[in-house]
Chains A and B, each alone.
Chain A
Amino acid sequence: MHSKNILLVGVGGQGILTMGRILASSAIRRGVKALTSEIHGMAQRGGSVVVHVRMGDVESPLIGIGMADAIVGLEMMEVLRYIQYANQKSILVINDRIIRPPMARTIPTKNQIISELDRLKLKYVIIDALNLALKAGSEIAENIVLLGSLIATGILSEYIEITDVENTLKEVFTGRALEVNLKALKYGYDACRQHVNENI
Chain B
Amino acid sequence: MTFIGEFDLVHPLLYPPGSVVLLLGNEAIARGAIEAGLGFAAAYPGTPSTEILESLADVAEHYGFYVEWSVNEKVAFESAYAASLCGVRSLTAMKHVGLNVAADALMSSAYIGVEAGFLIVSAEDPDMWSSQNEQDNRYYGLHAYIPVFEAYSPWEAKELVKYAFNFSEKFKHPVIFRSTTRVSHSSGPVKFDVVPSLKSTGRFVKDPSRFALVPAHARKLRVKLIEKWRSICEEVNNSPFNKYIDNGSRRLIICCGTGYGYLMDCLKILGVEGKVNILKISTTVPAPRRLILDALGGCDVALVIEELEPILERDVKAMAFEEGVECEIHGKDLIPLIGELNIDKLIHGVAKFMDVPVPSNFLNPLKCNIEIPTRPPTLCSGCPHRASFLELKWALAKSGVRDVIFAGDIGCYSLGVDEPFKVQDIMLEMGGGIGSANGLAHASNQFIVAIMGDSTFYHACIPALINSVYNKSPMLVMVLDNRITAMTGHQPHPGSGFTATGARVDEVKIEDIARGVGVKCVETIDPFNVKDSIDKLVKAIKFVLENRTVALVNSRRACTLMVVSNARRRGVRIPRYLVDLELCRACGICYNQLSCPAITPMPDKKASIDPILCFGCSVCMQICPFNAIKPSETPSKDWEEVWRVN
Contact with A along B176-209 (1 / 0, CB 8 A): 0000001001111100000000000000000000
A154 within 8 A of B: no
A24 to B2, CA, bound (A): 19
B262 within 8 A of A: yes
Does A173 lie within 8 Å of B258, measured CB to CB? no
Q: Given the interface contacts A64-B343, A108-B372, A172-B7, does A28 sit within 8 Å of B189 by beta carbon?
A: yes
B260 within 8 A of A: yes
**Closest partner residue, chain A, to B340 (CB atom):** A62
Q: Given the interface contacts A45-B380, A60-B258, does A103 sit within 8 Å of B419 by beta carbon?
A: yes
Interface-facing stretch out of A77-85, A159-167, A185-193 = A77-85
A112 within 8 A of B: yes
A-side contacts of B3, CB under 8 Å: 13
B269 within 8 A of A: yes
Which A residues, 85 to 124, have Cβ-Cβ distances below 8 Å to chain B?
Answer: 85-87, 100-108, 112-113, 116, 119-120, 122
Does B373 lie within 8 Å of A101, measured CB to CB? yes
A43 to B2, CA, bound (A): 13
A108 to B373, CA, bound (A): 9
B-side contacts of A125, CB under 8 Å: none
A173 to B369, CA, bound (A): 41
A-side contacts of B261, CB under 8 Å: 59-61
Which B residues, 343 to 363, have Cβ-Cβ distances below 8 Å to chain A?
Answer: 343-344, 347, 361-362
**Closest partner residue, chain B, to A36 (CB atom):** B187
Q: Which of B20, B22, B185, B377 contacts A42 (CB 8 A)?
A: B377
A8 to B368, CA, bound (A): 18
A-side contacts of B9, CB under 8 Å: 172-173
B561 within 8 A of A: yes
B-side contacts of A171, CB under 8 Å: 10
A120 to B596, CA, bound (A): 35
**Closest partner residue, chain B, to A172 (CB atom):** B9
Does B8 lie within 8 Å of A174, measured CB to CB? yes
A81 to B373, CA, bound (A): 9
**Closest partner residue, chain A, to B419 (CB atom):** A103
A110 to B477, CA, bound (A): 47
B600 within 8 A of A: yes
B497 within 8 A of A: no
**Interface residues of chain B: helix, strand, loop or mixed (majority):** loop
Contact with B along A14-47 (1 / 0, CB 8 A): 1100101100110010000111111111111111
Does B362 lie within 8 Å of A64, measured CB to CB? yes
B-side contacts of A28, CB under 8 Å: 20-22, 189
B143 within 8 A of A: no
B-side contacts of A35, CB under 8 Å: 153, 186-188
Q: Given the interface contacts A60-B265, A64-B269, does A47 sit within 8 Å of B361 by beta carbon?
A: no
A-side contacts of B188, CB under 8 Å: 24, 33-36, 61
Does A36 lie within 8 Å of B1, measured CB to CB? no
B379 within 8 A of A: yes
Q: Which of B22, B129, B347, B371 contacts A108 (CB 8 A)?
A: B371
A126 within 8 A of B: no
B612 within 8 A of A: yes
B-side contacts of A83, CB under 8 Å: 366-368
Number of A-B contacts (CB under 8 A): 188
Contact with A along B237-267 (1 / 0, CB 8 A): 0000000000000000000001011101100
Does A80 lie within 8 Å of B365, measured CB to CB? no
Does A177 lie within 8 Å of B6, measured CB to CB? yes
Q: Given the interface contacts A28-B20, A44-B561, does A14 sit within 8 Å of B1 by beta carbon?
A: yes
Q: Which of B362, B376, B419 contacts A66 (CB 8 A)?
A: B362
A54 to B597, CA, bound (A): 33
Q: How large is the interface on B (under 10, 10 to 19, 20 to 34, 35 or more residues)?
A: 35 or more
B-side contacts of A174, CB under 8 Å: 7-8
B-side contacts of A112, CB under 8 Å: 370
A-side contacts of B182, CB under 8 Å: 37, 61-62
A-side contacts of B344, CB under 8 Å: 64-65
Does B378 lie within 8 Å of A102, measured CB to CB? yes
**Closest partner residue, chain A, to B486 (CB atom):** A44
A155 within 8 A of B: no
**Closest partner residue, chain A, to B187 (CB atom):** A36
Q: Which of B7, B262, B415 contacts A45 (CB 8 A)?
A: B415
Contact with A along B409-420 (1 / 0, CB 8 A): 000100100110
A72 within 8 A of B: no
B636 within 8 A of A: no
Which B residues, 367 to 409, have Cβ-Cβ distances below 8 Å to chain A?
Answer: 367-380
A46 to B261, CA, bound (A): 31
Does A60 lie within 8 Å of B366, measured CB to CB? no
A1 within 8 A of B: yes
A143 within 8 A of B: yes
Does A33 lie within 8 Å of B189, measured CB to CB? yes
Q: Given the interface contacts A45-B412, A174-B7, does A86 sit within 8 Å of B264 by beta carbon?
A: no
Does B375 lie within 8 Å of A101, measured CB to CB? yes
A58 to B342, CA, bound (A): 13
A-side contacts of B376, CB under 8 Å: 47, 101, 103
Minimum Cβ distance to chain B for residue A75 (Å) = 9
A-side contacts of B612, CB under 8 Å: 139
Minimum Cβ distance to chain A for residue B306 (Å) = 14
Q: Given the interface contacts A46-B377, A64-B347, does A36 sit within 8 Å of B370 by beta carbon?
A: no
**Closest partner residue, chain B, to A20 (CB atom):** B187
Minimum Cβ distance to chain B for residue A192 (Å) = 21
Does B361 lie within 8 Å of A87, measured CB to CB? yes
A77 to B465, CA, bound (A): 46
Does B264 lie within 8 Å of A60, measured CB to CB? yes
A59 to B260, CA, bound (A): 8
Most buried by A among B369, B370, B374: B370
A-side contacts of B262, CB under 8 Å: 59-60, 62
Does A84 lie within 8 Å of B343, measured CB to CB? no
Q: Given the interface contacts A24-B187, A59-B260, does A66 sit within 8 Å of B265 by beta carbon?
A: no
Most buried by B among A20, A33, A34, A64: A64
**Closest partner residue, chain A, to B188 (CB atom):** A35
Q: Which of A36, A42, A119 contacts B186 (CB 8 A)?
A: A36
B268 within 8 A of A: yes
Minimum Cβ distance to chain B for residue A167 (Å) = 13
Does B366 lie within 8 Å of A120, measured CB to CB? yes
A80 to B369, CA, bound (A): 9
A48 to B258, CA, bound (A): 24
A-side contacts of B186, CB under 8 Å: 35-38, 61
A50 to B187, CA, bound (A): 14
A47 to B380, CA, bound (A): 10
B-side contacts of A132, CB under 8 Å: none
13 extra interface residue pairs, beta carbon distance < 8 Å, beyond A63-B343, A64-B343:
A21-B22, A38-B186, A40-B129, A41-B130, A44-B377, A46-B597, A47-B375, A48-B375, A59-B260, A64-B361, A65-B362, A102-B596, A143-B2
9 residue pairs from A and B, CB less than 8 Å apart: A14-B1, A45-B379, A47-B375, A59-B262, A62-B343, A66-B361, A84-B365, A103-B418, A116-B369
